[in-house]
């Protein structure tokens, strides 16, 4: 069986519906704000002290790659334009914010949240454009962007490594849903696609950005290139572990065919800090690295942990919602509606069972991140 996969539908964060919507969005906002703090100080410093103000006569162009539909994108656009506006030589300029993502991204959902369009009380001081396409290819004209950002996207691969989906090869990713915990050969196939994608990303941005333009990013990452099979440092922290376990249980019980699990692969690979540095600097260093940082086990706390983790049932629901939002469309496309329901029920049940253990250790929610701020040479 071949995984029905196209980049367009699998990566989008699903907006929650109904009763959960308000709570989940508020939590998402809170989580994102915490993670933004990894980048903001270095970004402010670079924009104020290293961004050349010689932007010519036209507007200042800012782009967010992998903008998705949510609050993070708008908050970063507001943050960056506020900083640039504070520079006296730029205060009279027009700012254009380009929101870029895969063509299937629901740009309208994002647009409806813009300040002045129902999202927030502030007036919007910048113009907006939606740009469909893949960040692993050119999306903008040569030397047209002054500031660019990409947050929580560089761990997404441009494609599923073809080798890991080929049953006849030893690197076939049998019984696993991602690179994490797989055999070294399988993981190396993931790393190779990641390496090529990262290189392409920085190559394309180098062409699109003006000299002295500023590029900021962060994504889940690894400390170094050793042990790429350890994509996440602790199985117990990530829902993926329980997800794989739940799927395997349904296979063992004969509810889901083994091959359906074997042929499913998440197109995700967390890059290490040295892999990122290599992609930025080789073959030709086109960016000056201002900061390149690894943050180990960044602790994230959901907005209303008291409610979300108040008992096993609430915890199970919360974890299931998180899983649905992240990987829901990709999994349901592969499994079909009914098995997907069973899968989510089993995951919820296993999360509930896991509750006492998680409670005992204070509901650890850690992610390690790579972040950086670059200046185009």
Cα–Cα distance between 328 and 10 in angstroms, integer? 8
Q: For ligand SAM, give the closer residue by CB, 30 or 349.
A: 30
105 binds ligand SAM (CB under 6 A): yes
Cα–Cα distance between 66 and 151 in angstroms, integer? 7
11 binds ligand SAM (CB under 6 A): yes
CA nearest neighbour of 228 among 259, 285, 189, 261:
189
Report, in angstroms and rounded to the nearest whole number, the Rg of the chain calculated over CA atoms: 21
Instruction: Considering only the stretches 41-49, 86-94, 98-106, 302-310, report the one whose residues sit in contact with ligand SAM under the rule CB under 6 A.
Output: 98-106
Q: What residue is closest to ligand SAM based on CB?
A: 66
The residues, ordered by sequence, that sit 6+ positions from 283 with a Cβ below 8 Å of its Cβ are: none
The residue within the footprint of ligand SAM, chosen from 98, 101, 171, 270 (CB under 6 A), is 101
What is the nearest approach in angstroms of ligand SAM to the Cβ of residue 105? 5
72 binds ligand SAM (CB under 6 A): yes
66 binds ligand SAM (CB under 6 A): yes
CA 241 → CA 116, 188, 238, 292, 348, distances in Å?
42, 20, 6, 29, 13
The residue within the footprint of ligand SAM, chosen from 73, 263, 350, 376 (CB under 6 A), is 73
Residue 362 CA to chain centroid, in angstroms? Answer: 25
In a 13 Å sphere around the CA of 159, the CA atoms on its Cβ side amount to: 10
Residue 204 CA to chain centroid, in angstroms? Answer: 19
342 binds ligand SAM (CB under 6 A): no
The residue within the footprint of ligand SAM, chosen from 156, 172, 309, 355 (CB under 6 A), is 156
32 binds ligand SAM (CB under 6 A): yes
The residue within the footprint of ligand SAM, chosen from 24, 27, 46, 135 (CB under 6 A), is 135
Total residues binding ligand SAM (CB under 6 A): 23
81 binds ligand SAM (CB under 6 A): no
The residues, ordered by sequence, that sit 6+ positions from 40 with a Cβ below 8 Å of its Cβ are: 79
Q: Which residue has the tokens 């399988």?
A: 186
The residue within the footprint of ligand SAM, chosen from 84, 145, 152, 308 (CB under 6 A), is 152
Instruction: Considering only the stretches 117-125, 133-141, 184-192, 232-240, report the one whose residues sit in contact with ligand SAM under the rule CB under 6 A.
Output: 133-141
The encoded tokens of residue 361 equal 């250790």
Angle CA(225)–CA(176)–CA(313) in degrees, nearest 5?
105
Q: For ligand SAM, give the closer residue by CB, 181 or 329.
A: 329
What is the nearest approach in angstroms of ligand SAM to the Cβ of residue 64? 7
The encoded tokens of residue 67 equal 């903008």
Site residues, ligand SAM (CB under 6 A): 7, 11-13, 32, 65-68, 70, 72-73, 101-102, 105, 134-136, 151-153, 156, 158
């Amino acid at each position: 069986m071949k995984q029905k996969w196209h980049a367009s539908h699998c990566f989008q964060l699903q907006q929650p519906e109904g009763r959960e919507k308000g709570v989940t969005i508020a939590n998402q906002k809170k989580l994102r704000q915490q993670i933004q703090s990894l980048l903001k100080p270095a970004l402010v410093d670079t924009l104020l002290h290293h961004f050349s103000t010689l932007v010519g006569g036209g507007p200042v162009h800012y782009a967010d790659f992998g903008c998705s539909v949510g609050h993070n994108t708008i908050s970063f656009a507001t943050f960056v334009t506020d900083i640039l506006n504070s520079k006296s030589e730029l205060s009279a300029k027009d700012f254009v914010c380009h929101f870029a993502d895969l063509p299937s991204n629901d740009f309208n959902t994002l647009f409806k949240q813009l300040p002045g369009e129902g999202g927030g009380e502030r007036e919007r001081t910048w113009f907006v454009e939606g740009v469909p396409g893949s960040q692993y290819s050119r999306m903008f004209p040569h030397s047209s962007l002054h500031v660019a950002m990409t947050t929580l996207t560089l761990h997404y691969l441009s494609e599923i490594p073809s080798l890991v989906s080929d049953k006849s090869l030893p690197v076939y990713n049998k019984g696993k849903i991602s690179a994490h915990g797989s055999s070294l050969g399988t993981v190396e196939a993931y790393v190779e696609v990641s390496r090529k994608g990262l290189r392409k990303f920085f190559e394309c941005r180098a062409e699109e950005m003006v000299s002295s333009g500023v590029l900021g990013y962060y994504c889940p990452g690894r400390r170094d290139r050793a042990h790429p099979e350890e994509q996440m440092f602790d199985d117990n922290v990530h829902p993926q572990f329980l997800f794989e376990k739940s799927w395997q249980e349904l296979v063992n019980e004969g509810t889901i065919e083994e091959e359906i699990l074997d042929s499913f692969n998440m197109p995700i690979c967390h890059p290490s800090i040295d892999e990122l540095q290599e992609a930025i600097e080789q073959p030709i260093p086109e960016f000056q690295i201002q900061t390149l940082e690894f943050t180990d086990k960044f602790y994230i706390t959901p907005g209303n942990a008291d409610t979300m983790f108040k008992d096993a049932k609430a915890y199970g629901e919360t974890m299931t919602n998180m899983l649905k939002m992240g990987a829901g469309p990709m999994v349901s496309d592969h499994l079909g509606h009914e098995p997907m329901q069973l899968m989510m029920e089993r995951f919820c049940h296993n999360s509930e069972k896991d509750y006492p253990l998680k409670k005992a250790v204070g509901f650890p929610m850690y992610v390690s991140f790579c972040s950086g701020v670059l200046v185009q040479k």
